[in-house]
Amino acid sequence: MEKMRLGKTDMMVSSIGFGGIPIQRLSEDEAVKVVQRCIDLGITFLDTANGYTTSEERIGKAIKGRREGVVIATKSGARDRKGVEEHLKLSLKRLGVDYIDLYQFHGVSKAEHLKMVLEEDGPLAAAEAAQKAGVIKHIGITSHSMDIAKEAVKTDRFETLMFPFNFITSEPAKELIPLCREHDVGFIAMKPLAGGMLDNIPVAFKYLLWFPDILPLVGIEKAYEIEEIVRLVEGPQKMNAAEEGEMKRLIDELGTRFCRRCDYCQPCTVDIPISLVMTSRSFLKRMPPERFFGGMVDDAMDKAAGCVDCGECEERCPYDLPIREMIAEHVAWFQEEKKKYGEQVKA
């Protein structure tokens, strides 16, 4: 597979990377096999996170004896020095490695969180100390907020930025990707399939291939899925007329009624995690059902059912989404799915 330079890290990585969220759903044996298949197909960039339950450990097992051939990226969502130091220690242990190629601050989407990361003697200082000691090679950041991502890039303290990017969440193409180029920050595209909203893989990837200097992360759980994507990346990359037509159709269909997870609608009057509720369908495809129906999505849906209809969130949404209507649709969908799951468990 072709390699690309990941911004100022100067690391040469495969032109697509592996995203370690979906392997949490598999058995350990299946997960290890999927990761190994990806490496066999030439994927050298493997991304995971401290918060992805079993993912680091499984990737660690898959790379045993092959460490030198891969680039390991992981993340910490901690917002203080001690927390980052603890997460780093845990990641090294779970991955079974003595250094991490790219250490990222996870989900920095609020101004106060960026401030905490940058604080003197805070998380970034901890990562930089580990970098000096050779335990971390490079430092990056991940975000869902356009403004915070731009601010982070402009600090010149991060070597990579991970941000959602696909043809229906294409806003980064206008200013954020050019800004990353200007600062030589490697752009890693998360959600190439819009978190499961796009199921036309050829169209989704051919769009991303228009940007040869970005690294799309592919979250897959079946070997045949990655084989299809690798064939696409290595094959003729031009979109044909039918594919372009399909892309336009999907943009029209989803583009106006699709949550971008920017969180500008917050704070909700009754603390509903609006973006989580609005994108919950994609989690069902990626999370073990017992976690989906019993964990934070369940809690979020309970809160969502208590929406007081104040409408304040809609005034703040830059995409003019009918948030109340969409929340009600998602709550009804979730309750239906939960009922079906309950019946399956009983049977």
* Interface positions with ligand SF4 (CB under 6 A): 259-265, 268-270, 272, 274-275, 278, 307-313, 317, 319, 321, 323-324, 327
Residue 264 CB, shortest distance to ligand SF4, in Å, is 4
Residue 257 CB, shortest distance to ligand SF4, in Å, is 10
Distance of CA 168 to the CA centre of its chain: 15
Residue 7 CB, shortest distance to ligand SF4, in Å, is 27
Alpha-carbon Rg for the chain, nearest whole angstrom, is: 20
* Long-range contact pairs involving 246-249 (C-beta distance under 8 Å, separation at least 24): 246/200, 246/203, 247/167, 247/203, 247/207
One-letter identity of residue 29: D
Residue 147 CB, shortest distance to ligand SF4, in Å, is 12
Of 204 and 300, the one with the shorter C-beta distance to ligand SF4 is 300
Residue 255 CB, shortest distance to ligand SF4, in Å, is 12
Of 136 and 331, the one with the shorter C-beta distance to ligand SF4 is 331
Of 128 and 299, the one with the shorter C-beta distance to ligand SF4 is 299
How far is residue 168 from each of residues 86, 172, 208, 297, measured CA to CA in Å? Answer: 37, 11, 11, 24
Q: Across the chain, where does the E strand assignment appear?
A: 3-5, 12-14, 17-19, 45-47, 71-76, 100-105, 136-142, 160-164, 186-190, 214-218
Of 43 and 276, the one with the shorter C-beta distance to ligand SF4 is 276
Of 211 and 264, the one with the shorter C-beta distance to ligand SF4 is 264
Distance CA 19, CA 220 (A): 7
Residue 148 CB, shortest distance to ligand SF4, in Å, is 13
Residue 163 CB, shortest distance to ligand SF4, in Å, is 14
Distance CA 227, CA 14 (A): 14
Of 147 and 184, the one with the shorter C-beta distance to ligand SF4 is 147
Question: In terms of residues, how long is the chain?
Answer: 347
Residue 159 CB, shortest distance to ligand SF4, in Å, is 27
Residue 140 CB, shortest distance to ligand SF4, in Å, is 23
Token duo for residue 291: 């976690």
Of 43 and 278, the one with the shorter C-beta distance to ligand SF4 is 278
Give the strand pairing for 136-142 and 71-76. Answer: unpaired
Distance CA 38, CA 16 (A): 10
Of 294 and 311, the one with the shorter C-beta distance to ligand SF4 is 311
How far is residue 302 from each of residues 213, 297, 306, 314, 339, measured CA to CA in Å? Answer: 42, 9, 7, 20, 14
DSSP 191-213: -TTGGGT---HHHHHHHHTT-TT
CB contact set of 322 (below 8 Å; sequence gap of 6+): 257, 314
Of 16 and 272, the one with the shorter C-beta distance to ligand SF4 is 272
Task: Give the three-class secondary structure for 48.
Answer: coil
